Structure 1
Amino acid sequence: MDQRDIIKQFWKALDKSPFVMIGIPAQNAHSEPMTAQFDDDIPNALFFYARRDNRLATGMASHPQAMVQFTGKGHDFFACISGMLSVSDDPRLIDKFWSNAIEAWFDGGKDDPNLTLLRFDMKNAEMWEADLSAGNKLKMLFGGDIDYGDPNEKHIETTM
């Protein structure tokens, strides 16, 4: 399996279950569950709706480096991704990812003054797969830096 296949496997797994744990290591606080929003138009980036007073939103100004952990719906694919967290309050993006499920968290809807959209730009990742035929052993599929060479394609290039 080559890198592109592994990355396609990651995006497919994330599409089936977009729930991740995200935290800022420098905060020395626990990661928290968030729902990842993503789109092929913005490669290698995840977006999260949050409240402006959320510890991620308040902590990233002084510590923008964040870590995302992902477990696939079938517990057969895992990823740990480091990157940079920033605010992306572009109204077009807020509208693009908006849904009834998100609206339930914000009393004022898209105009809620406490609403913010966080952007996580992926820098480095490790990805594993559970090999069920080998007694549930995990095998690393990939470890390396993100390559932003082609803005129209999501992919990661290994440095191993």
Structure 2
Amino acid sequence: MDKDIRETFWKAFQTSPFIMIKLENASGHAEPMTAQLDKDAHHAIWFFAKRDNRIAPGGQAMGQVMTKGHDVFACIDGTLVEETDNSVREKHWNNAVEAWFPDGKQDPSVVMLRFDIEDGEVWASDMGLKGAFKLLTGTPIHAGEAGEHALGAV
């Protein structure tokens, strides 16, 4: 994947760290999760969930990201596994997480999951003033004017 579009994705995802995620081959719909991001991690994001959550069993999964402002869209796939490193759990535990899990970080019903990203497809929209004018007036927008698109490792 192009380095610029990869950087655009991670920067936008950091400001809007929400993802719809679903285990592959599982019944039901994807659900929204708040990603715990680590600027030093490559190809991994974390989530806190209850052990009875539909994604808690882990396995192959797919997630969709649409960032605030709708400037980046992504579909990423990989494997969900339980994070067993307690220092990672400690690092990512914060007041926002505590609001969802008021019994605290030692609550045995709370699991931390790591999503090891294998690849993805990213669309970065940057139509600028000219593109916005075309949208308002109904003038055709050509694919090269809509932004960038890339496949590969995120």
For Structure 1 versus Structure 2, the TM-score category normalised by the shorter chain is 0.7 to 0.9
Over the residues paired in the alignment, what is the CA RMSD in angstroms?
A: 1.8
Tell me the alpha carbon deviations over residues 23-65 of structure 1, each in whole angstroms, 9 at most, x when there is no partner. 112102200000111213321101001111101013x2xxx11
Larger gyration radius, structure 1 or structure 2: 2
Q: Identify unmatched segments of 5+ residues in structure 2.
A: 136-140
In the other structure, the counterpart of 1:152 is: none
Take 2:30 and 2:148, find their aligned partners in 1: how far apart are those partners? 23
Displacement of 1:139:
5.0
Give the percent of matched residue pairs that are identical in Structure 1 and Structure 2.
45
Q: Identify unmatched segments of 5+ residues in structure 1.
A: 147-155
In the other structure, the counterpart of 1:126 is: 121
Distance 1:140 1:67, change over 3 A: farther
Give 1:1-160 correspondences, 5 Å limit: 3-58=2-57, 60=58, 64-132=59-127, 133=131, 135=135, 141-144=149-152, 146=153, 156=154
Q: Which amino acid aligns with 1:141?
A: H
Displacement of 1:9:
0.4
Q: How many residues align?
A: 141
Displacement of 1:130:
2.8
